[in-house]
């Protein structure tokens, strides 16, 4: 009886089939007509641009491709950061007819984009390399999969990590500076992470919808990752709004969402929008254990809110009840102004500054403060309807509106909880939201 052998190529084909099932078109690397030094699928980019904007000359296509690929730095991290900024930020093309055209490289509607999975994509730079699978959106590489044979006990997921982080990063940086989501798998274990993450910061994606938890081990691991994160509309949403690169970092830091951070933020956002249109003042409650990254969840949600066209440049107020939490959040948010698309992200140190910055603010702004700054002396700060309050560690200080009585030299005085004064400060708003983030 002949012995059946399972090869790495068999696993690769299985993964490509999974990608095809959720909407990624397949094309073999050898079937693409290009120079092996090119990392952009020129025809896919041309087709996307043509459908969205009309006809482009060959010189204009070259200029667009040069914009996407042209930045290079000795630091792969800096090259990645600038390349990602260009991908998300788009470009203004000065056209041959003298007009200007702003180009979005990713359409907000996933149906208007071209999602393609390519295997054995050969790249010649410092050395010739062929990553197992490269994912492209509109011809632009965004994710590299490195797979190892599940039947080979001498090769593990750690070898896949080394392959991308050492060999590919060193030998083909022109491709790897586009690698937003790096995936490594040996069949038994599947993880995703940033090219700048340590191995311990590669994670599983344990849900396909945010409602059902899946213990994603074995082949179920990569299937869940693909059906969850790499479902095209989800993947597009994550790339556009859930990749946080600090404005300044002593380390090569790229923060990607864990599955519960993404789905939690999305559910809160969708609920806020639903309630917003009904005139309700409720937002939602998010429960997270200590150490699960609630600060990043708040950051992701704030980004989702600040760029929402429906909310029309909302003001976001982030509340804590302890100075140490306020300092922690302020440090993160003040270093995320480019990510949040709002340079007016700041910590409010005292009640005087609270009045200065929030009273009569016309639009925008992300303000971090302790709830103790809201007292009976604050009064109405703004009549606007699109002010959203996010409360971290939603204990009694954040929700108490009850009255108590305090005796002093002037007699008996009514005293309310801080939450009462918070609501009074925005009492004329059509909508006020409290997002409770608690252990």
Question: Has residue 203 got a pLDDT over 50?
Answer: yes
Question: Has residue 429 got a pLDDT over 50?
Answer: no
Percent of the chain with pLDDT over 90: 61
Question: Has residue 21 got a pLDDT over 90?
Answer: yes
Kindly provide the residue ranges of all beta strands, DSSP E only, lying in 1-120, ordered along the sequence: 25-28, 91-94, 100-103, 115-119
Which residue did the predictor score with more confidence, 349 or 235?
235
Question: Has residue 132 got a pLDDT over 50?
Answer: yes
Cα–Cα distance list, 210 to 261, 279, 366 (Å): 9, 26, 27
Residues 236 and 364 both lie in one domain: no
- Segment 44-55 mean pLDDT: 97
Residues 195 and 58 both lie in one domain: yes
How distant is the alpha carbon of residue 163 from its chain centre?
Answer: 25
Question: Has residue 434 got a pLDDT over 50?
Answer: no
Range name among 6-10, 84-88, 323-327, 354-358 with the lowest pLDDT average: 323-327
pLDDT of residue 283: 78
Which residue did the predictor score with more confidence, 44 or 380?
44
Residues 226 and 308 both lie in one domain: no
Residues 235 and 291 both lie in one domain: no
Distance from C-alpha of 355 to C-alpha of 381, rounded to nearest angstrom: 7
Q: What is the average pLDDT score of the chain? A: 88
pLDDT of residue 332: 86
CATH number at residue 318: 3.40.50.300
Half-sphere exposure in the Cβ direction for 361 (13 Å, CA): 25
Say if 2 falls within a structural domain: no
Residues 236 and 357 both lie in one domain: no
pLDDT of residue 346: 87
Residues 217 and 351 both lie in one domain: no
Kindly provide the residue ranges of all beta strands, DSSP E only, lying in 95-180, ordered along the sequence: 100-103, 115-119, 123-124, 128-129, 133-137, 140-147
Helix (H, G, I), strand (E, B) or coil at 380: coil
The tokens describing 130, both together, are: 């062929």
Residues 388 and 348 both lie in one domain: yes
Say if 254 falls within a structural domain: no
Instruction: Give 205's pLDDT tier (boundaries 50, 70, 90).
Output: very high
Residues 231 and 270 both lie in one domain: no
- Segment 88-110 mean pLDDT: 96
User: Domain range holding 98?
Assistant: 8-241
- Segment 308-337 mean pLDDT: 84
Q: Tell me: the pLDDT tens digits for 353-365?
A: 888 888 877 888 8
Q: Which residue, of 180, 215, 241, is where some domain finishes?
A: 241
Which residue did the predictor score with more confidence, 6 or 154?
154
Say if 247 falls within a structural domain: no
Residues 78 and 187 both lie in one domain: yes
Q: Which residue, of 213, 241, 269, is where some domain finishes?
A: 241
Q: 159-196 in b/e burial notation, b at 16+ Cβ within 10 A? A: ebbebbbeebbebbbbbbbbbbbbbbbbbebbbbbbbb
Q: Looking up tokens 């055209």, which residue turns up?
A: 101
Distance from C-alpha of 205 to C-alpha of 138, rounded to nearest angstrom: 25
The tokens describing 302, both together, are: 């704030």
Distance from C-alpha of 385 to C-alpha of 279, rounded to nearest angstrom: 9
Q: Which residue, of 179, 208, 241, is where some domain finishes?
A: 241
Say if 167 falls within a structural domain: yes
pLDDT of residue 8: 74
Closest CA to 62 of 26, 30, 109, 96: 96
Q: 213-228 in b/e burial notation, b at 16+ Cβ within 10 A? A: ebebeebebbbbbbbb
DSSP code of 345? E
Which residue did the predictor score with more confidence, 132 or 382?
132
Distance from C-alpha of 395 to C-alpha of 437, rounded to nearest angstrom: 9
DSSP code of 332? H
Which residue did the predictor score with more confidence, 3 or 305?
305
Q: How many domains does the chain have?
A: 2
Q: Report the DSSP beta bridge partners of residue 413.
A: 406
Residues 75 and 161 both lie in one domain: yes
pLDDT of residue 350: 83
Say if 368 falls within a structural domain: yes
Tell me if 179 sits within 8 A of 137, measured CB to CB: no
Q: Tell me: the pLDDT tens digits for 178-199?
A: 999 999 999 999 999 999 999 9
Question: Has residue 128 got a pLDDT over 90?
Answer: yes
CB atoms within 10 A of CB 328: 15
Range name among 52-61, 296-305, 344-353 with the lowest pLDDT average: 344-353
Q: 31-47 in b/e burial notation, b at 16+ Cβ within 10 A? A: ebeeeeeebbbbebbbe
Residues 25 and 152 both lie in one domain: yes
Pairing of strands 133-137, 140-147: antiparallel
Residues 56 and 201 both lie in one domain: yes
Say if 379 falls within a structural domain: yes
Question: Has residue 432 got a pLDDT over 60?
Answer: no
Distance from C-alpha of 224 to C-alpha of 230, rounded to nearest angstrom: 9
DSSP code of 125? S
Say if 1 falls within a structural domain: no
- Segment 216-228 mean pLDDT: 94
Distance from C-alpha of 390 to C-alpha of 379, rounded to nearest angstrom: 20
Instruction: Give 288's pLDDT tier (boundaries 50, 70, 90).
Output: confident
Say if 58 falls within a structural domain: yes
The tokens describing 372, both together, are: 């103790």
């Amino acid at each position: 009886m002949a012995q059946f052998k399972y090869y790495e190529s068999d696993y690769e084909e299985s993964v490509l089939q999974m990608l095809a099932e959720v909407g990624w078109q397949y094309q073999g690397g050898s079937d693409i007509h290009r120079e092996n030094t090119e990392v952009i699928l020129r025809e896919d980019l041309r087709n996307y641009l043509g459908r969205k904007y009309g006809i482009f000359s060959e010189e204009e296509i070259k200029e667009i491709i040069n914009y996407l690929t042209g930045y290079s730095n000795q630091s792969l991290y800096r090259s990645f950061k600038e390349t990602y900024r260009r991908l998300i930020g788009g470009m203004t093309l000065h056209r041959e007819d003298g007009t200007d055209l702003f180009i979005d490289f990713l359409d907000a509607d996933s149906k208007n984009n071209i999602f393609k999975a390519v295997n054995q994509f050969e790249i010649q730079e410092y050395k010739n390399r062929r990553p197992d699978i490269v994912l492209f959106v509109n011809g632009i590489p965004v994710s590299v999969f490195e797979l190892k044979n599940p039947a080979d006990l001498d090769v593990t997921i750690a070898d896949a990590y080394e392959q991308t982080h050492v060999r590919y990063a060193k030998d083909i940086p022109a491709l790897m500076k586009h690698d937003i989501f790096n995936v490594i798998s040996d069949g038994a274990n599947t993880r995703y992470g940033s090219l700048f993450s340590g191995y311990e910061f590669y994670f599983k994606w344990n849900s396909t919808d945010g409602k059902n938890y899946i213990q994603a081990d074995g082949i179920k691991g990569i299937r869940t990752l693909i059906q969850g994160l790499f479902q095209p509309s989800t993947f597009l949403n994550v790339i556009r709004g859930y990749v946080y690169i600090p404005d300044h970092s002593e380390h090569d830091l790229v923060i990607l969402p864990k599955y519960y951070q993404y789905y939690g933020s999305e559910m809160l956002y969708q609920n806020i929008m639903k309630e917003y249109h009904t005139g309700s003042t409720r937002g939602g409650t998010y429960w997270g254990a200590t150490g699960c990254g609630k600060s990043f969840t708040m950051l992701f949600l704030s980004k989702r809110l600040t760029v929402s066209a429906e909310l029309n440049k909302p003001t976001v107020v982030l509340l804590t009840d302890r100075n140490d939490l306020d300092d922690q959040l302020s440090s993160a948010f003040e270093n995320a102004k480019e990510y949040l698309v709002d340079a007016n992200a700041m910590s409010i140190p005292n009640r005087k500054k609270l009045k200065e910055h929030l009273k009569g603010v016309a639009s925008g702004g992300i303000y971090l403060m302790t709830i103790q700054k809201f007292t009976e002396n604050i009064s109405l700060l703004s009549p606007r309807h699109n002010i959203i309050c996010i409360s971290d560690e939603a204990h009694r200080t954040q929700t108490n509106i009850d009255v108590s009585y305090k005796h002093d030299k002037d007699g008996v005085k009514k005293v309310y909880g801080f939450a009462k004064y918070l609501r009074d400060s925005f009492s004329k708003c059509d909508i006020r939201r409290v997002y409770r983030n608690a252990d």
